């Protein structure tokens, strides 16, 4: 299967929290060529932003953050330039009143004709009715 994965999933593969086991399984399946994973190229920046937030919250140390950053760089999904996704992402963001970063992932999944895997409850609640290809990580095996 081919999936677009968002930064929530990337973060969960690095820092243990709810649904980490499902995120790790998805990543392991990607490494074993069971699945193809795609993301806009803002993915790494968003995951790293979440890592620095976790540092500030005391969930990880700066030393752990550096190691997790290095780990992230070895297991990135196939990245797609976000610039070509912006027009449609802007349209969705404007109409649906959702952040444009989230809409980049939706746009890529729409374009790639695959599911968007996310652990973002708000994204699922607000966009899944209009974009049924959005799938919550909790529904994965």
pLDDT digits over 50-93, tens only?
Answer: 999 999 999 999 999 999 999 999 999 999 999 999 999 999 99
Percent with pLDDT over 90 in the chain: 99
pTM: 0.95
Q: How many CA atoms lie within 13 A of 16 on its CB side?
A: 0
Residue whose pair of structure tokens reads 């049924």 in the numeric block: 132
Percent with pLDDT over 70 in the chain: 100
Structural domains present in the chain: 2-139 (3.40.50.1010)
> Is residue 64 a contact partner of residue 28, using CB atoms and an 8 Å limit?
no
18 band by pLDDT with thresholds 50, 70 and 90: very high
pLDDT value, residue 90: 98
* Rounded distance between C-alpha atoms, residue 53 and residue 11, angstroms: 11
pLDDT value, residue 61: 96
What Rg value do the Cα atoms of the chain yield, rounded?
14
pLDDT value, residue 140: 95
Reading the block at residue 107, the tokens are 């746009």
Reading the block at residue 80, the tokens are 């797609």
Average predicted confidence (pLDDT) for the chain: 97
């Amino acid at each position: 299967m081919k999936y677009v994965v968002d930064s929530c999933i990337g973060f969960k593969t690095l820092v243990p929290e709810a649904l980490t086991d499902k995120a790790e399984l998805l990543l392991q399946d990607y490494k074993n060529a069971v699945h193809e994973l795609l993301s806009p190229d803002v993915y790494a920046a968003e995951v790293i932003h979440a890592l620095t937030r976790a540092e500030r919250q005391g969930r990880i140390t700066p030393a752990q953050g550096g190691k997790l950053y290095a780990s992230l760089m070895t297991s990135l999904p196939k990245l797609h330039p976000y610039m070509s996704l912006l027009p449609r992402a802007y349209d969705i963001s404007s109409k649906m009143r959702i952040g444009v970063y989230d809409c980049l992932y939706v746009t890529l999944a729409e374009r790639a004709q695959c599911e968007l895997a996310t652990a973002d409850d708000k994204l699922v609640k607000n966009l899944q009715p209009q974009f049924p290809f959005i799938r919550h990580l909790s529904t994965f095996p």
